[in-house]
Structure 1
Amino acid sequence: MTSTANPGPDPDQHRRVRAGVGFGFGAYAIWGLLPLYFVLLAPAGPYEIVALRVLFSLVFCLLILAITRGLRQLLRVFRDGHTLAALSVAGVLIAANWLLYTVATTTGHTLEASLGYFINPLVAILLGVVVLHEKLRALQWAALGVGVLAVLVMAVFYGSVPWLSLGLAFSFGFYGLVKSRIGSRYPALVTLTAETATITPLALVAMALLGVRGEVTLTSEGPGHFLLLLAAGVITAVPLLLFGAAASRLPLSTLGMIQYVAPIGQFVLAVALFHEAMPPERWVGFGLVWIAVVLLVLDAVRAPRVPRLPKRPRATRA
């Protein structure tokens, strides 16, 4: 009589998970360090930066698709009217998100950008309740309540509503909602290319208007400045590719916890390098948001025990 040995852990699966964690940290680390890149682009203004980011991202993505023979899938998207309409909306939302983020990080408001991405998961939960009529677990309700309290504290005691943070969180939240409706019918790079193509006319108009006003710095500040602006396409696409590789290897709960690497990096840069002000009332507001984040992380740790659909929508960060 032969006995069947109980197979041990699959080494290939372990390698996939380790690689996924590395890809995830790489993607969110790049997004967390983006403020440093935008500072290097001075004297380019936020409108020029975002317009060139759109244009050069499109060029870079088309090159990658050509190399990987993915152009046919891109053509399929343009023949799919429903998907193309959704990606057009997504393009406008991500362009707004990029613009708000660039304005924040080039005008001494990196802390507000960090706060926006700490709040973003709470906004995603709120949209799930209001738009998708999802039912929340107790920890999610608690996190949402603490997040709302944090915004109220900042509005009352700090003296102003954190509009930049809320704009970043809601623009990306709605962007994720639109992309989730599309699902995984097309690879992330294909949908990014399509949505970038839909907003390319806006980027061209913006560059034309800036040119008329003499505010284009692309060719007027030397080759180093030109190359830095040219790199906007790579800076946009590379973390997306890393994110896509991570999303295909990791559970959503794990990826959801890694996402906080980006706002933590932005916060450290804002306080330690850019010396942005952190009065006591702002510490209280951030502290409440961090409590909400801890509640979400605890919920994510428990979430795998609850059955869920294996749906994995992908979205693009700033």
Structure 2
Amino acid sequence: MSAEDPARKGVLFGLAAYLSWGFLPIYFKHLHGALPTEVVAQRVLWSVLLLAALIAVSHRWQHLRAAIASRRALGILAVSALLIGANWLIYIWAISADHVLETSLGYFLNPLVNVVMGVVLLKERLTRAQGLAVALAGTGVAVLALGASSGLWISLALAGTFATYGLLRKIAPVESLEGLAIETILLAPLAALYLAWLASRGELAFGADPHLTWLLTLSGVMTATPLLLFAAAARRLRYSTLGLLQYIAPTIQFLLAVLAYGEPLTTAHIVCFALIWTGLAVFAADGLRRAPARARPEPATCP
């Protein structure tokens, strides 16, 4: 097999992952008959079942037990579980409340927030290009804030929770599949109790409508499939290539928000996105230049 084959497959896996994440709002829009909190709870429980099946098929129970036995790993994953749960809830609520544009902005901001957190928490040094990219993004956010955007908190919350989640997963001594499995296992009791409470009040959407029930059942597949595609891409691609592919998902979300769902695109939005896109271009160019010295990223969980 030629050296180009793994890279070609990696690009295909990466495109499939980010296209899946990009079009995810369409799936969640069809769940409007269920409360966002129920959608998150259902997503957690169905993900547990699917991830358990994947671990069984891949014979990784030993890896899962080792991660659970590690106090450090379990402690970190307990916090990351709360963060990804909050991220999922904000994301799903935002889509149901017609704030897809703000979710797009949040995930455009995410790589730049990662840079800032690296400086503040890990004492990393910014390159000139990274400093310029962050400054442009900060200016864009300030413009949007001055434009009285009521949804700016959604973008900042999504970027902040996901960046913090990514930082914790970076230092957690556990692989992507086992990490997500443990996170969903930790959230499962809360999810089950909440669904039981909804059922007792007659407010549970699951089971009330066959179409909606089927869509909720698919939530585990919709969660795990892009993650596994991303993990496959990460093993085959250079850091810089994967870093450029990550902008596909929020770009699709942006186009869906404006073209498909008719969300208002104000002058403040246009200026904000223009500044952030310029910052991301500078950031990506710097990443390409520095790519040979950088390692491949650890797979992380997207929405």
Q: How far off is 1:283 after superposition?
A: 0.9
CA RMSD, aligned part only? 1.3
CA contact (8 A) 1:179 1:315 kept: yes
Task: Determine the C-alpha separation between the residues in 2 that align with 1:232 and 1:274.
Answer: 22
Gaps of 5+ in 2: none
Tell me, yes or no, if structure 1 residue 176 matches structure 2 residue 176.
no
Match of 1:92 in 2: 82
How do 1:295-314 residues align onto structure 2 when only pairs under 5 Å count?
295-305=282-292, 307-308=293-294, 310=295, 312-314=297-299
1: CA distance, partners of 2:149 / 2:258: 20
Deviates more, 1:210-219 or 1:278-287: 210-219
Partner residue in 2 for 1:316: 301
Residues 154 and 285 of structure 1 are in contact (CA less than 8 Å); yes or no, is this contact kept in structure 2?
A: yes
2:191 corresponding residue in structure 1: 203
Pairing 1:67–2:57 present: yes
Task: Give 1:291 shift.
Answer: 1.0
Q: After TM superposition, where is structure 1 displaced by more than 6 Å over at least 4 residues in a row?
A: none
In structure 2, what is the Cα distance between the partners aligned to 1:117 and 1:22?
21
Query: Which residue identity does 2:302 align to in structure 1?
Result: R
Q: Does 1:226 align with 2:216?
A: no
- Count of matched residue positions in the alignment of Structure 1 and Structure 2: 303
**Which residue does 1:83 correspond to in 2?**
73
- Given that 1:32 and 1:265 are in contact with CA atoms closer than 8 Å, whether structure 2 keeps it comes out as yes
Give the Cα–Cα distance (whole angstroms) in 1 for the partners of residues 138 and 203 of structure 2: 40
Q: Which runs of 5+ in 1 are unaligned?
A: 1-10
- For 1:122 and 1:205, locate their aligned partners in 2 and report how far apart those are by CA, in whole Å: 37
How far the C-alpha of 1:254 sits from its partner, in A, is: 1.1
Q: Deviation at 1:212?
A: 3.2
Q: Does 1:156 align with 2:141?
A: no
**Residue 271 in 1 paired to residue 258 in 2?**
yes
Name the structure 1 match of 2:23: 33
Tell me, yes or no, if the aligned pair for 2:234 and 2:298 is still in contact at 8 Å. no
Alignment-derived partner of residue 235 in structure 1: 222
Match of 1:191 in 2: 179
Question: Deviation at 1:216?
Answer: 1.0
Name the larger-Rg structure.
Answer: 1
Percent identity (aligned)? 40
1:8 match? none
Aligned 8 A contact 1:144 1:292 in 2: yes
> Which amino acid in the other structure matches residue 175 of structure 1?
Y
CA contact (8 A) 2:239 2:291 kept: no
TM-score, normalised via structure 2 length: 0.97
Deviations 1:168-222 (A, max 9, x none): 000000000000102xx54311111011111112212221232233321000012
Quote how far apart the aligned CAs of 1:311 are. Answer: 6.0
